[in-house]
Amino acid sequence: MRITLALALSMTAACNVDSDSANDQVRVEYNQQRIEDAAAAAARTAREVGSGVGNVAVSTGRAIGNEVGDIDVDVDVDRNRNRPADGAAGNEQSGNRQ
């Protein structure tokens, strides 16, 4: 989105507009070299930004790996089988009242 906006702005910067109000005419000239230069600069900037984002992602991944390391998790699950047959606990209330 930003690149599209930058290209549109660079295209307007690469044109010359002459207005002849006496003859009610407008003349527009585009400088193709300036447009190509602006597009190349936008592409270079996009590449640099992409590279920077990739570098940040790699360093963040390394930092997370170093911080977290290997984690061992032991889980002991015990069931309470003293519940009523409907599955509700003795002190809980059912939300379906009639």
Instruction: Classify residue 96: in a domain, yes or no.
Output: no
Instruction: Classify residue 41: in a domain, yes or no.
Output: yes
What is the pLDDT confidence band of residue 98, given thresholds at 50, 70 and 90?
very low
From residue 41, alpha-carbon distances to 34, 70, 78 in Å are 10, 44, 64
In tens, the pLDDT along 3-43 reads 566 556 666 666 777 887 888 888 888 888 888 888 898 88
Q: What is the mean pLDDT of the chain?
A: 75
From residue 1, alpha-carbon distances to 4, 48, 54, 89 in Å are 5, 16, 19, 55
Q: Based on the structure, what is the number of domains in the chain? A: 1
Instruction: Classify residue 54: in a domain, yes or no.
Output: yes
For a pLDDT cut of 90, what percent of the chain falls above it?
16
Q: Which amino acid is present at 97? A: R
Separation CA 98–CA 89 (nearest Å): 19
Instruction: Classify residue 76: in a domain, yes or no.
Output: no
